[in-house]
Structure 1
Amino acid sequence: MKSQHYVLKLLTLITMLSLIMACSTDLGSKSAAPSITLNGEKIENSGLVQKDDAMYIPASFITDTLGATFETPEEGDVEAGSEELAEGVYYTNKVGVLMYHAVMEDPTDGSIIAPEQFRDHLQWLKDEGFNPISMEQYVAFIHEGGEVPDNAVLITFDDGYENFYTYAYPALKEFNYPAVNFVIVSGVDDPSIPGIKKLSWDQMREMKEHNIAFHNHTFDMHVYGAVNAEGIEQPAAISNLYLPDEKRVETDEEYIARVTEDLSKAEQRLEEELGNTIRAIAFPYGAYNERLLGILDELDIKTSFTVKPGINTSEDALGFRINGGRSDKTAEELLAGLKPEPVELNDNAMLLNGKLVSFSKIIEAKGDQPALYPLREVSNALGLFIGWDSATKTVTLAQ
């Protein structure tokens, strides 16, 4: 009887402990809500909300923290899109820029496409009446008032992988299409660096003879680096990095010196090996800010490319690009961005820094909670870098 009583007490104690642990775990999960940092600094009271695997922020964060204008549009704010175009002409005096990365026989993830897929894309461009142009034509259009054909397209690749030579180059030659590849120069100079094998200088010299250009994707800054002692990471090209040996963050002067040296070295090697006369860059991860743009000015790197989607006018020195490098979508789905639809006002449209943006979803105001807007879409529209640190549940922004 005593043993039964003892067992009953033990079971009761175990149950109570389990309930206490469950409550503690629940409290802990609530306290570990996502946070947000801007340029390495944690933002308190940001209003950040996570809902349905997406992050949302209130208008006050957009205006007060990001310093952007944010307004409800009126009919007159919609750009006149009634320009009469000939049949088969989707835009004129503009350039669509396509972005790719790797081409492999057996794609290992969605950001890599197979050779036959890339060839399908080139065939789609031809069938739909698009006109691929060279990097020289694009630079002349952006900076010198040069003319481009209707439905002009610039085909770009990032990272300088050798599979570009093996698979993309033969297809480009077949269609007689120009293209440009932005190379991580350190991987070309030192093939022993781990990762997907890079192009060689000899391969690039051969391809240059067939109107393929090669430009700057930094010398060795295609990496994330810690920006504080907690280990929050951001792209190295836009961030003051944490120096663990000295237990401090780079000064602005040290940041400028490091980035200037890297980009200058990349341009020097491209000029030495390929005779480049044009200086152009694709930002790693699409990340840039005013400090980086100032360094580009000092180095006379006038042409740059982001990963923001859109079609470029001659005023878009920070080039938009449409991502064509997905293996999980058809050519029609991926390249549909080259056929822009007329902009129309709807319930999800807002003016962000004077530009009409139609959000995929807006969480309506309810009680004391203000209306909330998708943080990633806001960031893309403003040209901000956005990242996610899963270890600390931190959204990282950089501008």
Structure 2
Amino acid sequence: MHFYYRWKKKSDVTENLNSNQIESHKEKQYTNQVVDKDNQSIEGNLIYNSQSIPVLYYHSIDYEKGNELRIPKEKFRQQMQYLKDNKYTTLSLDEFYNFLVNNNPVPNKSVIITFDDGYKDNYENAFPILKEFGFRATIFVITSTIDKEKDFLTSNELKEMSSCNIGIESHTVNHDNLNSLDYDAQIKTLKDSKEFLERILGKEVKYIAYPYGKWNENTLKAVKSAGYNMAFTTIGGWSNKDQGLYTLNRVYVSNNHNMDEFKRRLTNSHYEVSN
């Protein structure tokens, strides 16, 4: 079985993982040049690309005792209700890209919602809640699971969500640890997953989240060569242009986090990752 966050018995892979293995600390960051226009900060209710934005990342929206990757849908709804009540705007990754590269302003209280792996409960549990609140989101999908694994999304589910403001992007073919692959193998999984999704969706796939948050110097060359515009890590923190387009931070959301911790990460751009 491929070593990604899949479960036959729900905790077979994740039971030995802790938060520090899922959410990386800021050990080492590579930077890539990003177009930098006027370094404007906050102007009225808009912000420009000198500011950071929280990119939340989830995995499964379901419940399993002791599994921090699986967030009950009631808890997810509470978090989405908080975003709605506090007038947050959810951005697509295209909007985020144009914010970073072209300095297109976005609302001051902007947030990006992402999911890793492509679990079926993203469709069954998260998608109805996102539609209810009118929120955008993005799912990074392991393409080898599509139409083949019962706990993962089907091509029809992906197409339906794609037509309803849910971005469908790459998480490689087999949840590959890019850090352990040579350049040619990295290019293959990056291109194969991208092209597979494009055939299903009939639209360009431009973004990727690195499995395990792992990458190296070859990865940074490979993702650009494969035609991706941005890539996301698991380094804990808000995202900004200084991190580089291919090494962007994200904000991990765990079932171990209570509502106060969710709010702290959402409202504090310099929050510290807990040990």
How far apart, CA to CA, are the structure 1 residues paired with 2:125 and 2:269? 32
- 1:124 and 2:87 equivalent? no
Hey, what does 2:261 align to over in structure 1? Answer: 333
Hey, what does 2:180 align to over in structure 1? Answer: 239
Hey, what does 1:217 align to over in structure 2? Answer: 171
Given the alignment, which residue of 279, 283, 296 partners 2:206?
Answer: 279
Given the alignment, which residue of 188, 204, 221 partners 2:158?
Answer: 204
Hey, what does 1:321 align to over in structure 2? Answer: 250
Scaled by the length of structure 1, what TM-score is found? Answer: 0.54
Distance verdict in 2 for CA 1:134–1:107, change over 3 Å: farther
Given the alignment, which residue of 126, 132, 140 partners 1:168?
Answer: 126
Secondary structure of the 1:198 match is coil
Choose between structure 1 and 2: higher strand proportion.
1
How far apart, CA to CA, are the structure 2 residues paired with 1:179 and 1:99? 10
**Unmatched segments (≥5 aa) in structure 1:** 1-53, 55-61, 69-82, 224-234, 241-254, 344-357, 361-376, 378-399
- Alpha-carbon shift at residue 327 of structure 1 (Å): 1.7
Letter of the aligned partner of 2:249 in structure 1? F
Scaled by the length of structure 2, what TM-score is found? Answer: 0.76
- Alpha-carbon shift at residue 274 of structure 1 (Å): 0.6
- Alpha-carbon shift at residue 268 of structure 1 (Å): 0.5
Letter of the aligned partner of 2:250 in structure 1? R
How far apart, CA to CA, are the structure 2 residues paired with 1:258 and 1:84? 43
**Unmatched segments (≥5 aa) in structure 2:** 1-19, 21-26, 31-40
- Alpha-carbon shift at residue 127 of structure 1 (Å): 2.4
CA contact (8 A) 1:305 1:321 kept: yes
What is the correspondence of 1:54-133 to structure 2 with a 5 Å cutoff?
A: 93-107=51-65, 109-133=67-91
Given the alignment, which residue of 181, 184, 188 partners 1:257?
Answer: 184
- 1:289 and 2:216 equivalent? yes
CA-based RMSD of the aligned residues comes to: 3.0
Hey, what does 2:231 align to over in structure 1? Answer: 304
Structure 1 residues 223-245: Cα deviation after superposition (integer angstroms, max 9, x where no partner): 5xxxxxxxxxxx3x1114xxxxx
Hey, what does 2:3 align to over in structure 1? Answer: none
How far apart, CA to CA, are the structure 1 residues paired with 2:203 and 2:75? 31
How far apart, CA to CA, are the structure 2 residues paired with 1:190 and 1:259? 23
- Alpha-carbon shift at residue 93 of structure 1 (Å): 4.3
How far apart, CA to CA, are the structure 2 residues paired with 1:341 and 1:147? 18
- Alpha-carbon shift at residue 198 of structure 1 (Å): 0.9
- Alpha-carbon shift at residue 165 of structure 1 (Å): 0.4
Secondary structure of the 1:95 match is coil
How far apart, CA to CA, are the structure 2 residues paired with 1:261 and 1:84? 42
